[in-house]
Amino acid sequence: MEEQLKLLIELQEIDSFIRSIDEKIESLPRRLEQFKHPLKEVSESVQKAEAKSDVLNKKKKEKDMELDEVQDKINKLKARSSEIKTNKEYEAHIKEIEGFEKSKYKMEDDILSLMEDIENYSGYVKEKKIKVKKAEDDFKLQEKALEEEKKKLHSEMEMCKSKRGDFVAGIDEENYDQYMKLLSRMGGVAIVPTENEICLGCNTNIPPQLFNDIKKNDRIFTCYYCKRLLYFKEPVPSDKESGEAPPSS
């Protein structure tokens, strides 16, 4: 094979590899983002439960104060019992105390049920906080792993670029310029093999005479249609032809 052609084929291999490394590096933030999602979700549910818990605690405090007030009223009324003269006044007095006591029992019930709710929420928050910690740990672990991967990819990239420089040094300027123009114009693929009179870059037929010339691999030809550089690659026998058993009827 002609030396320039050989170098261009190898350069294409390196450039394709560099491109794949680039794509991997670009995908890293997206991959990390996936681990942010469960962390965000579980953190939000904790926040909601904590807010609800705050509301319940506030309610309980209010009820406690109301209870103190009503107890105070009862105590004061009871203290006045000795001042009462008539039976009628006494009856009314007892009724008043009973009324306050009734609302006191209702308040005590409310407070008990609030305390139960508060306890449930605090258990729920505790449980969720363990999940937040787990999600945080997972995220940090992934962040670290992806950071390592990024470093590895960058050093791989550096190696490829220096190897690339060695190849470029051996390629004629005119060939290199043509290659680079095609590389940027044709989606990162500038030189392609041909097979069965077809350009594998654009799948267009190659005239038989041209295909015969390409087969010699002693000059650089270009595809009429996509303008990519062409070379001939011996077709690899496919598995289907060699391995598959004939269909039984």
Of 114-133, binders to Zn ion (CB under 5 A) are: none
**Pick from 210, 192, 209: which is nearest to 201 by CA?**
192
Nearer to Zn ion, 15 or 139 (CB): 15
Per DSSP, what are the bridge partners of residue 236?
none
Q: Which is nearer to Zn ion, 114 or 199 (CB)?
A: 199
Shortest Cβ 210–Zn ion spacing (Å): 12
Site for Zn ion in 199-228 (CB under 5 A): 199, 201-202, 223, 225-226
Nearer Cβ to Zn ion (7/199):
199
* In the complex, minimum distance from the CB of residue 221 to Zn ion, in angstroms, rounded to a whole number: 11
For Zn ion, the closer of residues 21 and 189 by Cβ is 189
Smallest distance, Zn ion to C-beta of residue 134, A: 53
Determine the size of the site formed for Zn ion (CB under 5 A): 6
Minimum Å gap between C-beta 241 and Zn ion is 26
Q: How many CA atoms lie within 13 A of 208 on its CB side?
A: 0
28 contributes a contact to Zn ion by CB under 5 A: no
Q: b or e along 170-203 (b: 16 or more beta carbons within 10 Å of the residue's beta carbon)?
A: ebeeebbebbeebbeebeebbbbbbeeeebbbee
For Zn ion, which is the closer residue by CB, 160 or 226?
226
And the tokens for 18?
Answer: 């560099």
**Is the CB of residue 13 less than 8 Å from the CB of residue 228?**
no
Dihedrals phi, psi of 172, to nearest 5 degrees: -60, 145
Q: How many CB atoms lie within 10 A of CB 167?
A: 18
Q: How far is the CB of 183 from Zn ion (least distance, A)?
A: 14
Helices H / strands E in the chain, number of each: 5, 4
Q: What is the distance between the alpha carbons of residues 29 and 149, in angstroms, rounded to a whole number?
A: 12
Binding mask 146-185 for Zn ion (x = CB under 5 A): ----------------------------------------
Binding site for Zn ion (CB under 5 A): 199, 201-202, 223, 225-226
